[in-house]
Chains A and B, each alone.
Chain A
Amino acid sequence: MAKYVIKRLLLLIPILLGVSAIIFVLKTLTPGDPARQILGNDATEEQISAKREELGLNDPVIVQYVRYVGNIVTRGDFGTSYRTNEPVLSEIIPRLWTSAKITLGAVAIGAILGILLGILSALRKYTWVDSLVLVISMFFQSVPEFVVGLVLITVFAVKLHILPAAGIDTPLGYIMPMLCIGLSSVASYTRITRSSMLEVLSEDYIRTARAKGQTEKNITYHHALRNAMIPVAQSIGTSLGNSIGGGMVLETVFSVPGVGKYIVDSINQRNYPSVLGGALVIAIVLTVINLLVDLSFILIDPRLKSTIISGGASKPKKAKVAEA
């Protein structure tokens, strides 16, 4: 197991090198001069040129890249923000925590609603309830998150005055961003739960339980649900990672000082150290979360241990259900 964890952590190196290399290439292709952004429109060409030299922007891209990676490896230095002159990492960490709180809340909302709807859908399969659940969940998946966001602001802030329209000065400020991200993932959890429940409910041991006179409630919640939750748990793990960096638009709409908004603002400002730092931190977080999720599967279902540690040579049965 330890060998597997170390192997996965070592995989971070090529991932981070790849992410940083891609952003460095994009940086060279993107118009807009960071030196001009720092010095403002009043700066003369001489000053711009001096600033470019100071920042090392006149060096070949490969030289800049090696210097950047070297600073991270040797000093843990992700660079300094062009805009605020503060270390990038010190700006990202508090924002990452903000994004993480919203992500956890959003995944919880999405998973709870999705699982409940999925169970309902499975138990009422091929009825109008099943169809309605499908329509509702697909609706929230289809409508862009920022539209849902504006609708929620209109309803809960403008009309009902029960939630703040923007900002996270109070805990209430977290509710709408969480709801927006959470609702968009309801469909996915619903479908996975439904498929998984239907498959489990058709298993022999469920039939045996029925034959033994178990109540439907007992069968559903004690025998079927626990086994059906394995692919759902896998999906939750994946969502956690995706949502961390995926709330960029919503963080902008709701003025949430998270890492997503930080990256968007930095892109607009051509604040490359912040863009790079933000992307790398997200890559690290994603990789670590994926590792933790994989490890958690082993705890949930020991049968998956050999599959995961062998690198997924054979896919777990329940994962197939999830993708069906």
Chain B
Amino acid sequence: MNLKKVTALALVGAMALSLAACGSTGTTASTAATGAGASGSAASAAAAATSSDTTGTVSGAKGANQDAANTTATDETLTIGLASEPSALWGAPVGKTENEAQIIFSALTDRLVKVDHTTGEVKPDLATSWEWVDSKHCKFNLRTDVTMTDGTPLTADDVVYSVSVWTGASANTDTGRFIDAATTKADDDHTVTIGFNTPAPDLLSMLDWSNFGIVSEDEVNAAGGAEAAANNPVLGSGKYKFKEWKRGQSITLERNDNYWDKDWKGYYKTIVFTFTSDAAARAMAVQSGDSQVAYDMPVSQASTYLASTDVQTVMYTFGQVGHLWYNMSDGHDATQNQKVREAIDKALDYDAIAQVGTAGTGKAALGYFDTDSKYYNQTYTEDERKVDVEGAKALLKEAGYESGLELTAIGLQDVVPVYTVMQENLRAVGITLNIKTTDTAQFVQDAFGGNYDIIDVGELTDARYPTLLPFLRSANIASGYVIGGPKATTDAIDSAIETAIEETDEAKAKEELGAIEQTMKEQTIVSNLYPEMHASVIAKDLKGYTTIERGFMDPTNFYK
């Protein structure tokens, strides 16, 4: 073989490998969006500050909350790949609400109540029963057979202490700001009354969140105080106990074999959480057998594993709908103009946006709330969601923008595909959409500061938490305390939201929320996009993917 042939062969080989490399690069590009996606969800969730989840399934994918409960305990180890390492595990005393911390801490502690994430029903956990004393106080009767990590029994004083922690360092977070420590008291050893700052019947659902885990003062002191315990949480009465944190590498939990709920069986003796920000690498770890769960995959990336026989793909809706908000504050003349907002609303291809946003699995949202929410109202018909280019152009002409206009959308990397569809839709009616993608820190700053014309932000809408519709609350807008939204509202809308949150009759609350949605539709304050999804890639023989608050994975119920 002469030199020319060898060189030609080598070049062909190099070209083939380069093409393969291009494929890999593509994967990695989506991967880069993962971290952003995770942060975006966090941002959205924080902005929405609502939740629990409802579960949907995508054709071809496994859904969450579907398997029967496990009945066997083994000495096996479960390894779960998370996108990032939390800075602290117990967020309450250090005022943090990080998704990964909430997933892990949920296994260490119990809450007073738990939400059935299939039905949305609030069920007993540490509290066997409860009753509302008045609109701001709820009395809980506690179990008498619960033992904390230090071997002491759970008492009402532990709940009072936990409340003091929630409202101390966490006073600014959702964990703290709706609880009234001053009127929270132990009525006897196993009865406690919790006070709330604001009337909101669905606050009860919020107590299911892992930040509301119950700990005892003695075990916190034994761990070196609240701040120290945040990083060394040998706390609570949960299904698993904290064992070890190797910074930068892993966090290990061990099954609590003295767990009070004898009906629960933990299949895995040990759970190890590892941290890999690259989603492709997380999924590959599952394929290789190094780990069993690659949590929080970008939906588009997870969908590429649907046909795989090596792993299972879990995709599910969780009660959060993506919404496109128009900045209606001063300085944003175009989007302040209702005709322009209507024009954009008419120009968008909602089906295409939903397809892109859900990797071809979801449909356009016809209401502000998720369809599984008990407060869902269909505000739009399917016909109203069809593209109307001529109607949009006419409205722009009426608004004085017949020669076109330029708008800016901000977002994290994960919304770029959705914004790109919008960009094309708007180009057809003469609007140039500039897509400004940033990292989380800059996004948060821009979204808080209103440095955008339009913004895609999701809100969890399965319950009427006190933070419902935060984008339209005047106090939030005045203080800048909201990510995204129109940055403008009216007293009538503000007051209607408050009334709906406080309403004790659910049916009436649904009507009231429907009326608010109608106002939003008439003024084109927001365009509803699609139900957002969580996705994970898990080992092919793994069962028991259940969820906790906001659709986060529950690490305690997996089995084979």
Contacts and interface: CB of A to CB of B under 8 A. Distances in A.
Interface of A: 31-33, 36-37, 39-45, 47, 83-85, 91, 94-95, 98, 127-128, 131-132, 135-136, 139, 143-144, 146-147, 150-151, 153-154, 157-158, 161, 164-169, 252-255, 257, 261-262, 265, 268-270
Given A132-B10, A153-B281, A169-B250, A41 B18 contact: no
A68 B429 CA distance: 54
Nearest to B94: A85
B480 A45 contact: yes
A32 B439 contact: yes
A42 B27 CA distance: 33
23 contacts: A32-B441, A32-B445, A33-B441, A36-B441, A36-B448, A40-B95, A41-B46, A42-B49, A43-B95, A83-B87, A143-B18, A147-B28, A151-B21, A157-B290, A164-B288, A165-B285, A166-B285, A167-B290, A168-B249, A253-B281, A265-B84, A268-B440, A269-B441
Contact of A128 (B3, B17, B438): B3
A146 B28 contact: yes
B278 to A, nearest CB: 5
Interface string B34-49: 0100000011001101
A252 B10 contact: no
Interface of B: 1-3, 6-7, 10-11, 14, 17-18, 20-21, 24-25, 27-28, 35, 42-43, 46-47, 49, 81, 84, 87-88, 94-97, 172-174, 177, 227, 231, 247-250, 274-278, 280-282, 284-285, 287-291, 310, 438-442, 444-446, 448, 479-481, 483
Contacts of B248: 94-95, 98, 257, 261-262
Given A143-B17, A257-B247, A151 B288 contact: no
A167 B448 contact: no
Contacts of A41: 42-43, 46-47, 444, 448, 483
A164 B24 contact: no
B479 A135 contact: no
B274 A166 contact: yes
Nearest to A151: B24
A84 B288 CA distance: 32
Contacts of A165: 281, 284-285, 287-288, 290-291
Contacts of B14: 135, 139
Contacts of A37: 441, 444
B445 A36 contact: yes
Q: Which 10 A-B pairs have the closest CB atoms?
A: A257-B248, A32-B441, A157-B288, A41-B46, A165-B285, A255-B276, A31-B442, A135-B10, A128-B6, A158-B287
A129 to B, nearest CB: 9
Contact of B278 (A39, A143, A164, A252): A252
Contacts of A94: 247-248
A131 B21 CA distance: 22
A41 to B, nearest CB: 4
Given A42-B173, A91-B247, A161 B288 contact: yes
A189 to B, nearest CB: 20
A33 B288 contact: no
Nearest to B84: A265
Contact of B284 (A83, A157, A265): A157
A33 B449 CA distance: 12
Contacts of A168: 249
Contacts of B6: 128, 131-132
Contacts of A164: 285, 288, 290
Contacts of B288: 153, 157-158, 161, 164-165
Given A83-B87, A257-B249, A262-B248, 14 more contacts: A32-B440, A33-B441, A40-B46, A40-B172, A45-B481, A131-B10, A132-B10, A147-B21, A150-B280, A153-B288, A157-B284, A157-B290, A167-B250, A255-B275
A265 B27 CA distance: 20
Most buried by B among A42, A84, A136: A42
Contacts of B81: 166
Contacts of A143: 17-18, 21
Nearest to A42: B173
A150 B281 contact: yes
Nearest to A139: B14
Contact of B97 (A42, A261, A269): A42
Contacts of B84: 265
A128 B1 contact: yes
A154 to B, nearest CB: 7
A135 B11 contact: yes
B249 A47 contact: no
A132 B11 CA distance: 10
Contact of A144 (B25, B290, B310): B25
Contacts of B287: 157-158, 165
A39 B7 contact: no
A28 to B, nearest CB: 14
Contacts of B97: 40, 42
Contacts of A127: 3
A52 B479 CA distance: 17
Contacts of B480: 45
Contacts of B43: 41
Nearest to A154: B284
